[in-house]
Every structure is written in structure tokens, then in C-alpha cells.
């Protein structure tokens, strides 16, 4: 804020008020519908947060919030960001609680093994007592991993923003930061 304020000839406090007011308006807006042939990819990520009222200690031993992000597999644009949840939520439970499942509807969605029992497309698992899965399952798993890696690349790009490495915003501010960063990432990608 101290760097932005002189650029626009306002005080630091005024710059902060303006950003607080405009931030939610500039954030990513959820889609109302998806084309029939579209394929989406979902994964969850943890954002370390200092606000203990919205965060819980997670697997990284820090107070974090969990966010479920859905991207378009072809364009790699972020299409849905679920509401922030405490960081100790499992992916399968958080998928429904965050609202991402409702936003996606019946669209074909690819996920990792953490989303078992949700009806999403996941890689094949080895059957009990089976030494090795058949070749066609291994080939499918390989292509599944290559496509699913796209969402990890999106997270890597989004984490270049300091807000997602150590978020100091309170309450729903964490969610607004995630939406804003997703929107700016989409703008940068779309050119």
C-alpha cells in the first residue's frame, strides 16, 4: 500500500480502502454452465493463513485454509474456486463443502486419488492381491497423470503471489485473494 499510494496521489489508508472495496468486484466470477464436451480438472491446495478463526492446522503443520480449484483441461483457465475451508479437511469432503461440486454439476471432471467416492474420474488402482495392473490401465494412468499435472502447474503459477504463500487477510479475505489471483492469472494467460 505504501508503494501504491504515491502512484495515485492518495494516502496509504485510502489506497487500502479502495482495494478492499474493488477487490471482490475484480475477482473471478463463477461460470453458470459448461459445454458438453469440456473436461475439467480439480485439485485442492493449502494456503497458510494467520487468521485462526478460519484456519486449522493441516498436514504442513501450519494454520492453513483449503481451496478447491477447478481448471479447464484445454485452456488451463481457472473456472471455479471453491470457498475456503479449514486446512484439515480431506479433499473428498471439501469438494462438496466448498461449493465446487455444485458449480461444476455433471461436467466430466478429473481428480487425483484423494477424491475417492465422489464420482470423479480418477486413475485406476491395483486390485487386492493383484501384482500389477493390466497394460491398458497403466497406459490410462500415465495419460491421466500427464493431464492432471496441468492443475499443479496452475498452482505453481498462482503461488508466485505472496498472498498465497502467507496470507494475512482475515475472514473471507483469503477467499477473495484466491479469486483475485485466479482472475489475474486468467487475464495473463489469455493475453
- 24 shares its domain with 57: no
Structural domain span for residue 149 = 31-123+134-190
Q: Tell me how many domains the chain contains.
A: 2
Place of cell 495419460: 143
- 3 shares its domain with 82: no
pLDDT at 191 over 70: no
Q: For position 27, what pLDDT does the model report?
A: 61
Query: Count of residues for the chain?
Result: 191
Q: What is the pTM of this model?
A: 0.78
pLDDT at 5 over 90: no
Average per-residue pLDDT for the chain: 84
- 1 shares its domain with 89: no
At 145-185, the pLDDT tens digits run: 888 899 988 888 888 887 777 777 777 888 888 888 888 88
- 115 shares its domain with 169: yes
- 19 shares its domain with 45: no
With a CB cutoff of 8 Å and minimum separation 6, the contacts of 21 are none
We report the CATH number of the domain holding residue 49 as 3.30.420
- 13 shares its domain with 79: no
pLDDT at 29 over 70: no
Q: What is the DSSP string of 51-117?
A: -TTT-EE-TTSSEEEEEEEEEETTT--EEEEPPPEETT--HHHHHHHTSHHHHHTTSEEE--GGGTT
**Best CA proximity match to 89, nearest among 52, 64, 121:** 64
Geometric angle at alpha carbon 109, from 29 and 71, rounded to 5°? 40
- 53 shares its domain with 3: no
- 26 shares its domain with 55: no
Q: How far apart are CA 106 and CA 119, in angstroms?
A: 10
Amino acid at each position: 500500500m505504501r508503494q501504491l499510494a504515491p502512484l495515485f496521489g492518495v494516502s496509504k489508508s485510502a489506497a487500502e480502502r479502495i482495494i478492499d472495496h474493488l477487490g471482490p468486484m475484480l475477482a473471478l466470477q463463477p461460470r453458470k454452465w459448461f459445454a458438453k464436451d469440456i473436461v475439467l480438472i480439480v485439485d485442492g491446495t493449502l494456503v497458510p493463513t494467520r487468521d485462526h478463526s478460519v484456519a486449522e492446522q493441516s498436514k504442513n503443520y501450519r494454520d492453513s485454509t483449503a481451496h478447491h480449484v477447478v481448471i479447464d483441461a484445454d485452456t488451463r483457465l481457472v473456472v471455479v474456486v471453491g470457498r475456503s475451508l479449514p486446512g484439515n479437511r480431506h479433499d473428498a469432503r471439501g469438494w462438496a463443502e466448498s461449493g465446487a461440486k455444485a458449480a461444476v454439476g455433471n461436467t466430466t471432471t478429473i481428480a487425483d486419488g484423494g477424491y475417492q467416492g465422489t464420482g470423479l474420474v480418477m486413475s485406476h488402482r491395483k486390485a487386492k492381491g493383484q501384482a500389477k495392473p493390466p497394460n491398458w490401465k497403466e497406459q490410462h494412468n500415465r495419460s491421466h497423470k500427464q493431464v492432471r499435472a496441468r492443475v499443479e502447474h496452475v498452482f505453481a503459477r498462482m503461488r508466485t503471489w505472496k498472498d498465497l504463500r502467507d496470507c494475512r487477510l482475515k475472514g473471507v479475505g483469503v477467499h477473495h485473494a484466491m479469486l483475485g489471483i485466479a482472475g489475474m492469472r486468467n487475464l495473463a494467460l489469455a493475453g
